[in-house]
């Protein structure tokens, strides 16, 4: 996956990156997760593109695939997923052995083999320790996660992530569902720093693209 340098789409991701920087003026945000209400709302696409453009702001970024339900970050970057996060946690190895460098400033850790006990992994002490280690080497740790309405993993991740971006597919997810999702996230005191509206028809883009 390669973004076109000057396309409208790339500009949208750049705006998102800059807005995150503004939301992080005090420097308290390190771990940022993306989630959505339902499947297929553009989470993986958004977080992968965001990771790429953040390096333009001279940030050191690691993108981790925490969607253990349906990992896909490796596909965006044409990487093998033979080993990754789950293998790292199992083997208690050095995390550097599980990192793919994509471009200067951007590293990716794929999910690794998908286990049946995803919850245990997501809430493990080991993953929190890993994030702590990573935070010493990166400006941002970006996490791709599953949809809130389908599994409990994203809510568990929201408990320790510093910030949450909510992806919403235009005209696909109804308002009630979005409201429910926000309520669930608020219950665990998630810091929702913004929403990204995906799949907006071309002719409505200027009117509807927003971020807060
Ligand atoms: N902004 C966008 N505009 C149009 N199409 C998009 C946009 N973002 C993503 N898509 C398309 O929507 C589909 C789903 O995208 P993606 O895999 O990123 O969603 P997801 O929320 O990660 O899905 P899942 O819940 O399965 O993990 C893909 O075909 C992708 O190309
Ligand atoms: Mg996805």
Q: What spacing in Å lies between the alpha carbon of 165 and ligand 2's midpoint?
A: 13
The domains located in the chain, with CATH, are 8-208 (3.40.50.300)
Residue owning the nearest CA to atom 9 of ligand 1: 42
Arithmetic mean of pLDDT, 140-165: 98
Ligand 1 site, CB within 6 A: 36, 39-45, 67, 70, 72, 147, 167, 198-199
pTM as predicted: 0.95
Residue 9 has pLDDT above 90, yes or no: no
Cα dihedral across residues 123, 126, 132, 135: positive or negative: negative
Residue 212 has pLDDT above 50, yes or no: no
- Give the per-residue pLDDT at 8: 78
- Give the per-residue pLDDT at 211: 45
- The listed range with the strongest mean pLDDT (8-12, 80-84, 168-172) is 80-84
Q: Read off the pLDDT of residues 68-92 as tens digits, 9 standing for 90 and up.
A: 999 999 999 999 999 999 999 999 8
- Measured in degrees and rounded to the nearest 5, phi and psi for residue 193 equal -90, -10
Report the candidate in 153, 91, 165 with the shortest Cα–Cα distance to residue 122: 153
Q: What spacing in Å lies between the alpha carbon of 43 and ligand 2's midpoint?
A: 5
Tell me the CA distances in angstroms from 53 to 3, 16, 34, 46, one per residue in order: 9, 9, 16, 11
Ligand nearest to the CA of 39: 1
């Amino acid at each position: 996956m390669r973004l076109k340098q000057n396309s409208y789409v790339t500009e949208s991701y750049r705006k998102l990156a800059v807005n995150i920087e503004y939301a992080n003026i005090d420097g308290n945000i390190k771990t940022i997760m993306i989630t959505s209400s339902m499947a297929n709302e553009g989470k993986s696409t958004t977080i992968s593109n965001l990771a790429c453009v953040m390096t333009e702001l001279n940030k050191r970024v690691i993108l981790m695939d925490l969607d253990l339900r349906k990992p896909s970050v490796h596909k965006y970057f044409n990487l093998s997923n033979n080993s990754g996060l789950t293998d790292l946690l199992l083997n208690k190895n050095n995390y550097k052995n599980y990192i793919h460098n994509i471009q200067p400033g951007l590293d990716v850790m794929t999910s690794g083999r998908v286990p049946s006990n995803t919850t245990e992994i997501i809430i493990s002490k080991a993953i929190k320790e890993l994030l702590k280690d990573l935070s010493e080497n990166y400006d941002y740790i970006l996490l791709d996660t599953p949809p809130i309405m389908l599994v409990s993993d994203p809510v568990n991740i929201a408990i320790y992530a510093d910030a949450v971006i909510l992806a919403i597919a235009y005209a696909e997810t109804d308002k009630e569902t979005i409201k429910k999702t926000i309520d669930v996230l608020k219950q665990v005191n998630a810091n929702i720093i913004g929403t990204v509206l995906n799949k907006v028809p071309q002719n409505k883009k200027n009117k509807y693209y927003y971020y807060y």
